[in-house]
């Protein structure tokens, strides 16, 4: 089981990078199985170039401080831990810097669904301003996911992080990854739509 989860994280990371759903600067993937968390390692982009091996995956207990004290625990780990602890049904969390979502993050514009395939995520709004990797950021993510439990249970809920990226939570890694790409495509459609000349 642990090898299987590690391989799924490796595969998801590679796909995410190849498809410009994240970049060399960062992003992270975690999967919960029972009370154990499987995490892409720190510097998955910067140092590993998303070319991870299953043995690079950091594994530790969801509760307690073992993971937080682990030298290779991902820097956005606090936010991931907070989501799993607040919403025990969540099994997968992805944080990413998707190419077409980043302009919306940069200029703090929510992403409205313009495709049928993204209606289910609703209007994707922002967490509060908070320093990266901080407990304050983690608390804001947990608060903004309130009321989105059904989305997390059926597909995924997503939140934008000002001038930074996106974070998504759901029950299955592949479904959360699917949501990430759908939202990025939706963002691209909004941007590309501006270039269509009037008839
Ligand atoms: Zn980031």
Cβ 89 vs Cβ 32: under 8 Å: no
Mean per-residue pLDDT, 82-96:
98
The pLDDT tens digits for 104-116 are 999 999 999 999 9
For residue 22, give the nearest of 170, 164, 134 by alpha carbon. 164
The Å distance, Cα 198 to ligand 1 centre, comes to 37
Q: What is the mean pLDDT of the chain?
A: 96
| 37 CA to centre of own chain | 15
The Å distance, Cα 25 to ligand 1 centre, comes to 7
The Å distance, Cα 96 to ligand 1 centre, comes to 6
Q: Residue 198 falls within a domain, yes or no? A: no
Residue 186 has a pLDDT of 98
Residue 132 has a pLDDT of 87
The boundaries of the domain holding residue 167 are 2-193
The Å distance, Cα 164 to ligand 1 centre, comes to 6
The Å distance, Cα 196 to ligand 1 centre, comes to 32
The Å distance, Cα 149 to ligand 1 centre, comes to 23
- For the chain, how many structural domains are there in total? 1
Mean per-residue pLDDT, 72-101:
96
Q: Residue 199 falls within a domain, yes or no? A: no
Mean per-residue pLDDT, 53-59:
96
- Here the CATH number for the domain that contains residue 49 is 3.40.225.10
The Å distance, Cα 102 to ligand 1 centre, comes to 11
Residue 66 has a pLDDT of 94
Higher pLDDT, 76 or 126: 126
Phi, psi of 8, deg, nearest 5: -65, -40
Phi, psi of 120, deg, nearest 5: -65, -15
- Asked if the model's pLDDT at residue 2 lies above 90, the reply is no
């Amino acid at each position: 089981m642990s090898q299987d989860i590690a391989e799924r994280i490796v595969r998801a990371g590679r796909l995410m990078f190849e498809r410009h759903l994240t970049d060399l600067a960062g992003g992270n993937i975690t999967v919960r199985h029972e009370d154990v968390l499987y995490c892409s390692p720190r510097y998955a982009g910067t140092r590993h170039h998303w070319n991870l091996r299953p043995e690079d995956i950091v594994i530790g207990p969801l509760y307690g401080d073992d993971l937080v004290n682990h030298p290779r625990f991902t820097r956005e780990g606090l936010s991931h831990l907070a989501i799993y602890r607040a919403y025990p049904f969540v099994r997968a969390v992805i944080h990413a810097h998707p190419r077409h979502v980043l302009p919306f993050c940069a200029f703090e514009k929510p992403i409205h669904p313009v495709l049928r395939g993204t209606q289910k995520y609703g209007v994707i709004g922002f967490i509060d301003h908070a320093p990266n990797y901080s407990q304050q950021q983690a608390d804001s993510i947990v608060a903004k996911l309130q009321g989105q439990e059904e989305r997390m249970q059926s597909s995924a809920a997503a939140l934008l992080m000002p001038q930074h990226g996106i974070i998504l939570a759901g029950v299955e890694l592949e479904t959360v990854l699917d949501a990430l790409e759908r939202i990025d495509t939706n963002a691209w459609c909004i941007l590309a739509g501006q270039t269509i000349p009037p008839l």
